[in-house]
Amino acid sequence: MGIEGIGASVARKEDKRFITGSGRYTDDIRLHGMTYAQFVRSPYAHAKVKAIDSSEAMKMPGVVAVLTGKELVDDKIGNLICGWMVHSKDGSPMKMGAFPAMAPELVRFVGQAVAVVIADSKNLARDAAEKVDVTYEELPVVADIRAAIASGAPQLHPEAPGNIVYDWSLGDEAATDAALAKAANVVSIELTNNRLVPNAMEPRSAIASYDSAEEHFTLYTTSQNPHVARLVLSAFYNIAPENKLRVIAPDVGGGFGSKIFIYPEEMVALWASKKVNRPVKWTADRTEAFLTDAHGRDHLSKAEMAFDKDNKIIALKVKTHANFGAYMSLFSSSVPTYLYATLLSGQYDIPNIYCEVIGVYTNTTPVDAYRGAGRPEASFLLERLMETAARKLKVNPAELRRKNFITSFPHQTPVIMAYDAGDFHASLEAAMKAIDYAGFAARKDKAKKEGKLRGIGLSCYIEACGIAPSKAVGSLGAGVGLWESAEVRVNPVGTIEILTGSHSHGQGHETTFAQVVADRLGIPISQVSIIHGDTDKVQFGMGTYGSRSAAVGISAIVKALEKVEAKAKKIVSHHLEASENDIVIEDGNFKVAGTDKQMAFANVALAAYTAHNLPPGMEPGLKEGAFYDPTNFTFPAGAYICEVEVDAGTGKTSFVNFVAADDFGRLINPMIVEGQVHGGLAQGIGQAILEGTVYDKSGQLVTASFMDYSMPRADDLPSFKLSHTTTLCPGNPLGVKGCGEAGAIGASAAVINAITDAIGTEKIEMPATPDRVWAAIHANA
Amino acid sequence: MNEAVNIRVTVNGEVRSHSVAPRETLADFLRNALELTGTHTGCEMGACGACLVLLDGQIVHSCLIFAVQADGAVVETIEGLAQRKAIAELQEAFHQRNALQCGFCTPGVLMTAYGVLARPGVPSRNEIRDALSGNYCRCTGYEAIVDAIETAARRRAEAAAEPEPETAP
């Protein structure tokens, strides 16, 4: 592997700027003549906008403009789109209401923008926004799923009767019902998957500028996928044609899904920059982030699992209501359907699965993909069900899982996915060994003597990553292909620039992608630069989400590197008068096998650019591009085990141990992978015990600040013990699977399974805060 | 109340005279007037720790302090600590241990870590976690940050315990 190649825990190339305070995030950028935008947002969850009076604001010196939703409509700026068409089970297309960037007539969630103030300074814009007088007429509110589907509930959108976006299903209901009817045992469960606020530490920000002479826009923005942003802004929102719009995502301070989507603020900043003919900057404050960043999860589910007399699973039936909030965000429709129900087979051989998903509008912030997106919901449901079943059937939870594991591959599940590789016994074994599962009973007894309730919980997750084969997602309703592109640009002296459509916002691509090149060509990673996040530099790309950058983004780089190598070998064979087939690459040199003849890579590059002596007909230069479209999803999987101790007197949960055994296929940089798992686990544990998003009945977000919404802090979390088992992904050149979401997908079930084991009741909702745990203990007693 | 106030503040060793609005936070002053953008604002209510700076040697939330309150004071930001190599061993430990991902919280985390290292002895992991509990990091799960601070503290303690190198007469 070499000291910097694939498999080496190389320290990151990008660190220096971050540890010296010289990172360059969007809000750090200032343009000449820049103005500042402050949005006027609805304080009501559902109301008619009767009038907007901006006269007082416009009188303030330094206020440049106050723009409203009506002017946006007049200028033919498009409504926000949902890019994935999902059909209900009756064949009808999903029913969507219009999502305007600023509401001209009706607001449907607290925080929805109705106007924007553009002013010379941020504080002036804030003051002026308070002077914009908006007259609202309040309407009745539905603040959660149950209220939305109740008969006679207030309606959000006339297009969606009963507040239902779709009633979708996957699988064979008749066969599943038949299996349930003949089951020896049926175990059922009802659960909530709590709504989460992503809260990347960097708030969203956008700076738009317009060059009137060139009729050209530039947008700096906090995006995980700048090319997709440009595509959507051009093709659907009528901002500018693609060749007249450059989108740059500089350093981005975390995304976790929330920075995939193209938001109203970016659209308005662009539009406003042309209207006022000056650059416009907008940066969210934290409460704006809480109110307007797309939220995650928010499911209510019922599920039944059928077992035969030998405890083999024969069927799974699931009914889920998913809360979409007030509008359909960019990829929202796919999250509780194709990213959720398709994973309900988990690691198990389940012959019959049927899942019905009802998507619901409510007067809350839109909900879309958040770390894991659908897969954490599937994993939580299935693993809570497995643990509950083991307890009800009085079998060991590990044994019940082992009995039902899929053991041969490829394996076609009844819910679309074809698993290509895995070894679920190996990861469970590794995790059980790491936590000394066998010794748990003795530890529990000892804790009991000390007056503590100890519990252990397993979670065996699987996810589908490497998103995604374009043809497959196209057939399922996606509006885009999910390939990735790469360009390998070798410079005349042999240094290399890699241009990638993947986007790094913490993942360390500048290091891992360079390691792949170093591994292949034997040159140091210091000679390889990774360029991303700028539509003027990189040809195109789909961005980073769904743990896709290694499996799809790097695969595109490998494809382009193969082309570079092939051309380089032709040049070497011409210079050294040897057969191309005899050329091998060793330590940065192209050698003729079995001889002492060689050319350093830098000399090959120089020869390509001087073009003094190239093979007949060969073009000068050494630069190749490639597009890679995956043939299948990848399937990272693993086993997590959590051991907790609960204080019955206070309900407080303390972590005794948390172990994770993951199979991500080949690891490019194990240290970076470890960091991804740590962060994912923190978010999964946060969901389980801390993070609760609370709306009151009037649709006010009660938890709209860091004082009210509890995310994991350093003293809330345990130290994690990680290990890996490996089956290579057969579907891509390096055998990689992806690691970015696993922790968030697998952790929450392990924690709740441990807490329920400790307290002896299954009835606890996430987040299992001390008051809830205390109440559950005492309800049981 | 809105009239600008003249302040003189020593920032990263340099005396800076500026006219600031009374409402201007120290964080905004540093970021906008002085273009020291290493100090980040993640919540503007003192809950996330991304904006931590040193004010007369004390670690403070620059989002909770008005720039006028810093009049006559000595302020040091991440850029200043980095330039005078006051956190070199922490930076090295963070880099080697991958104790940062997106980097947004990192300047504030390094400020906290600087405070931890200023105390004598090697802190326990729980003490490090306790000290870090005022810094939100959404990326790392804190594990690598705790490791890095522990490593830096141990190295500093080891270096302090080593006998003074003999000096030439």
Nearest to A503 by CA among A254, A216, A274, A194: A254
Read off φ and ψ for residue A48, nearest 5 degrees. -85, 140
Last residue in a domain, options A244, A269, A292: A292
Mean pLDDT of chain A: 97
Give residue-wise pLDDT tens across range A622-649: 999 999 999 999 999 999 999 999 999 9
Does residue A459 share a domain with residue A487? no
Residues 6+ away with beta carbon under 8 Å from B93? B99, B148, B149, B151, B152, B155
How far is residue A602's CA from residue A527's CA, in Å, rounded to a whole number? 11
CATH number, domain with residue A285: 3.90.1170.50
Does residue A462 share a domain with residue A357? yes
Give residue-wise pLDDT tens across range A185-209: 999 999 999 999 999 999 999 999 9
**Given an 8 Å threshold on Cβ–Cβ distance, is B106 in contact with A19?**
yes
**Given an 8 Å threshold on Cβ–Cβ distance, is A508 in contact with B98?**
yes
pTM value is 0.97
Quick check: bond before A397 cis, omega within 30? no
Write down the ipTM of this complex.
Answer: 0.96
State the SS3 of A246-299.
Answer: EEECCECCCCCCCCCCCCHHHHHHHHHHHHHCCCEEEECCHHHHHHHCCEECCE
Query: A454: number of CA atoms within 13 Å, CB side?
Result: 17
Does residue A519 share a domain with residue A646? no
Average pLDDT over residues A722-734: 97
Does residue A457 share a domain with residue A521? no
pLDDT the model gives residue A587: 87
Tokens (6 digits) for A690: 């801390």
**Given an 8 Å threshold on Cβ–Cβ distance, is B95 in contact with A16?**
yes
Shortest distance between the Cα of B130 and any Cα of chain A, in A, equals: 6
* Residue-wise DSSP of B18-56: EEE-TT-BHHHIIIIIS--TTS--SSSSSSS-TTEEEET
Average pLDDT over residues B35-59: 97
The fold for domain B5-81 equals Ubiquitin-like (UB roll) (3.10.20)
Tokens (6 digits) for B149: 């601070």
Q: Is residue A158, in this structure, part of any structural domain at all?
A: no
Q: Strand runs (DSSP E) across A431-554, as ranges?
A: 453-462, 484-490, 496-500, 528-531
pLDDT the model gives residue A312: 98
User: Which of B35, B78, B138 is opposite residue A711, by nearest beta carbon?
Assistant: B138
**Given an 8 Å threshold on Cβ–Cβ distance, is B95 in contact with A505?**
no
**What is the domain count for chain A?**
3
Sheet of B5-11, strand order: B14-20, B5-11, B74-76, B52-55, B58-61
Neighboring chain A residues of B142 at a CB cutoff of 8 Å:
678, 682, 712-714, 717
Give residue-wise pLDDT tens across range A355-394: 999 999 999 999 999 999 999 999 999 999 999 999 999 9
Nearest to A457 by CA among A775, A764, A774, A779: A764
Average pLDDT over residues A73-86: 96
Last residue in a domain, options A608, A628, A648: A628
* Nearest residue of A to residue B101, measured between CA atoms: A506
Give residue-wise pLDDT tens across range A527-584: 999 999 999 999 999 999 999 999 999 999 999 999 999 999 999 999 999 999 999 9
Cα A324-A329-A332 angle, rounded to 5 deg = 60
Query: A37: part of which helix (H) or strand (E)?
Result: strand A35-41
Shortest distance between the Cα of A286 and any Cα of chain B, in A, equals: 5
- Calculate the CA dihedral of residues A574, A580, A584, A590 and round it to 10 degrees: 10
Q: With a cut of 70, say whether residue B166 has pLDDT above it.
A: no
Domain boundaries, chain B: 5-81, 87-161
In chain A, % of residues over pLDDT 70: 99
Neighboring chain A residues of B140 at a CB cutoff of 8 Å:
675, 678-679, 682
How far is residue A107's CA from residue A109's CA, in Å, rounded to a whole number? 6
**Given an 8 Å threshold on Cβ–Cβ distance, is B104 in contact with A253?**
yes
User: Which of B23, B38, B146 is opposite residue A123, by nearest beta carbon?
Assistant: B23
pLDDT the model gives residue A425: 98
Neighboring chain B residues of A711 at a CB cutoff of 8 Å:
136, 138
Neighboring chain B residues of A691 at a CB cutoff of 8 Å:
none
Average pLDDT over residues A590-600: 95
**Given an 8 Å threshold on Cβ–Cβ distance, is A719 in contact with B39?**
no
Query: What is the band of B162 on the pLDDT scale with cuts at 50, 70, 90?
Result: confident
| In contact, B12 and B83? CB cutoff 8 Å | yes
Provide the number of CB pairs (under 8 Å) joining chain A to chain B. Answer: 177
User: Which of B95, B138, B143 is opposite residue A11, by nearest beta carbon?
Assistant: B95
Shortest distance between the Cα of A111 and any Cα of chain B, in A, equals: 17
* Nearest residue of A to residue B34, measured between CA atoms: A28
Residues 6+ away with beta carbon under 8 Å from A211? A217, A218
Shortest distance between the Cα of B52 and any Cα of chain A, in A, equals: 12
Helix locations, A161-239, DSSP H:
173-181, 226-235
CATH number, domain with residue A655: 3.30.365.10
Does residue A617 share a domain with residue A637? no
CA A462 centroid distance within chain: 15
**Given an 8 Å threshold on Cβ–Cβ distance, is B139 in contact with A705?**
no
Which of B45, B52, B98 to mutate: most A Cβ within 10 Å? B98
Does residue A405 share a domain with residue A312? yes
Tokens (6 digits) for A300: 């209510």
Does residue A46 share a domain with residue A95? yes
Give A310's DSSP letter. T
Nearest to A621 by CA among A597, A643, A604: A604
**Given an 8 Å threshold on Cβ–Cβ distance, is A201 in contact with B102?**
yes
Does residue A206 share a domain with residue A132? yes
Domain that holds residue A281: 31-139+202-253+259-292
Query: What is the band of A767 on the pLDDT scale with cuts at 50, 70, 90?
Result: very high
Nearest to A188 by CA among A457, A389, A399: A389
Which pairs from A474-479 meet CB under 8 Å and 24+ separation? A476/A84, A476/A334, A476/A338, A477/A84, A477/A85, A477/A86, A477/A87, A477/A333, A477/A334, A477/A338, A478/A83, A478/A84, A478/A334, A479/A81, A479/A83, A479/A84, A479/A85
Residues 6+ away with beta carbon under 8 Å from A59? none
**Given an 8 Å threshold on Cβ–Cβ distance, is B47 in contact with A200?**
no
* Nearest residue of B to residue A682, measured between CA atoms: B141
pLDDT the model gives residue B168: 54
Question: Which residue type does A318 have?
Answer: V
Tokens (6 digits) for A509: 């691509």
Query: A186: part of which helix (H) or strand (E)?
Result: strand A185-193
**Given an 8 Å threshold on Cβ–Cβ distance, is B128 in contact with A506?**
no
CATH class belonging to B87-161: mainly alpha
Neighboring chain A residues of B91 at a CB cutoff of 8 Å:
19-20
How far is residue A705's CA from residue A286's CA, in Å, rounded to a whole number? 7
Last residue in a domain, options A628, A650, A673: A628
Give residue-wise pLDDT tens across range B63-111: 999 999 999 999 999 999 999 999 999 999 999 999 999 999 999 999 9
Residues 6+ away with beta carbon under 8 Å from B168? none
Tokens (6 digits) for A103: 């509401």
Average pLDDT over residues A73-80: 95
Read off φ and ψ for residue A256, nearest 5 degrees. 60, 30
Q: Is residue A176, in this structure, part of any structural domain at all?
A: no
